[in-house]
Every structure is written in structure tokens, then in C-alpha cells.
């Protein structure tokens, strides 16, 4: 019985020893990987490397522009105007009547929706109103379709402007039932 007890005690001591060694090794490895993550400091300045030119203010010049020039597009009046078609999803199978819905942020509120077959034949169209704020809002319309001559086509949604021109045209491909 005494041999069994000493064997169990020896096994427990070995397990504790290996657990401590594993814990110490993981801490050592963790510290080593943290050291590799932090960048080593580079000497500054590098000899022979060009330095930045002094600004006009430090040179005593008085011809500094009063305002910075514009860059990019001016979006003060139009905040990324777009039309996004949510339904029908691209390549979905559609039938008549077709409900078209989505989101928009137009500056004039008429949205025209058309369904065309692969040959460009108009199968149906309808228009609806949308909000005229710069924040996006939803739109929805329903179109009764005539029989298509092809198996696929397009749903096109665009803004009909005040002078009856088209703007912001978006389209999605569909398949006919």
C-alpha cells in the first residue's frame, strides 16, 4: 500500500512540475512576441536626408492665401445623390405585377421605373414620388408587365427631372417567370 501512495504522490508532483514549466514557457513566449510587435526606434535624423522647406510664415512672406482651394467635388447642395434598388434582387425571377422598392435621396421627387426585356422592349413602366431631402428615404411602385419575348431583362429606376430628362439611372438584371 505504501508503494502505491508514494507512486501517486510522485505522479502528482510531476504533474505540478510540468504545469509550472508550461506556464513559465507560455509567459516567456508571450513576452517575446510582445517585444516583436513594438517597433524598434530608428535614429533621427538620418544624415544626408532632405528636410522640409520652411513655411512662408517662417520666411517672413506675407502672400499666404486667405483660404484653401477646393478639392474634390463640392457636395454642399447635393449629398451623394443616388438610387438603390432593394427589390427585385439581381437575377431574381419576376412576374406581373412587379413591386419595385428601394432607397433614394433625390432633390426632385419623381422616380420612374421601367422593365425591359433583353432586346430593350419596354414591358411596363410607372412613376412614383420620393422625398426631396438630402437624407435617404424609401420608394415603392408597382408595374403591370406585358408578355416578354426573352427570358431575361432589366429593371431600370431613374430620376425624372423637372425638364423631363433622366438622371441617376440604376438597373438590375431579372429573369421572367
CA-wise closest residue to 158 among 120, 92, 114: 114
> How many helices and strands, by DSSP H and E, does the chain display?
1, 8
Give pTM, 2 decimals. Answer: 0.54
What ranges do the domains of the chain cover? 1-39, 83-176
DSSP-derived 3-state class of residue 108: coil
**CATH architecture type of domain 83-176:** Sandwich (2.60)
pLDDT at residue 156 greater than cutoff 70: yes
Segment 19-62, tens digit of pLDDT: 999 999 888 888 876 666 555 555 555 555 555 555 555 555 55
Lowest mean pLDDT among 68-77, 111-120, 141-150: 68-77
- Mean pLDDT in residue range 111-129: 94
Q: Are 153 and 115 in contact (CB under 8 A)?
A: yes
Amino acid at each position: 500500500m505504501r508503494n502505491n501512495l508514494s507512486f501517486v504522490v510522485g505522479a502528482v508532483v510531476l504533474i505540478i512540475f510540468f504545469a509550472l514549466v508550461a506556464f513559465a514557457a507560455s509567459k516567456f513566449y508571450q513576452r517575446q512576441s510582445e517585444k516583436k510587435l513594438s517597433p524598434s526606434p530608428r535614429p533621427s535624423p538620418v544624415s544626408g536626408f532632405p528636410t522640409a522647406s520652411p513655411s512662408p510664415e517662417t520666411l517672413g512672406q506675407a502672400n499666404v492665401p486667405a483660404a484653401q482651394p477646393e478639392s474634390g467635388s463640392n457636395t454642399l447642395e447635393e449629398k451623394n445623390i443616388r438610387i438603390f434598388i432593394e427589390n427585385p434582387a439581381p437575377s431574381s425571377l419576376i412576374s406581373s405585377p412587379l413591386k419595385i422598392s428601394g432607397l433614394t435621396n433625390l432633390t426632385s421627387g419623381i422616380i420612374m421605373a421601367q422593365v425591359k426585356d433583353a432586346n430593350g422592349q419596354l414591358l411596363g413602366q410607372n412613376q412614383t414620388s420620393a422625398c426631396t431631402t438630402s437624407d435617404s428615404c424609401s420608394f415603392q411602385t408597382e408595374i403591370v408587365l406585358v408578355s416578354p419575348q426573352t427570358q431575361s431583362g432589366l429593371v431600370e429606376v431613374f430620376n425624372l427631372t423637372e425638364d423631363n430628362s433622366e438622371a441617376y439611372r440604376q438597373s438590375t438584371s431579372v429573369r421572367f417567370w
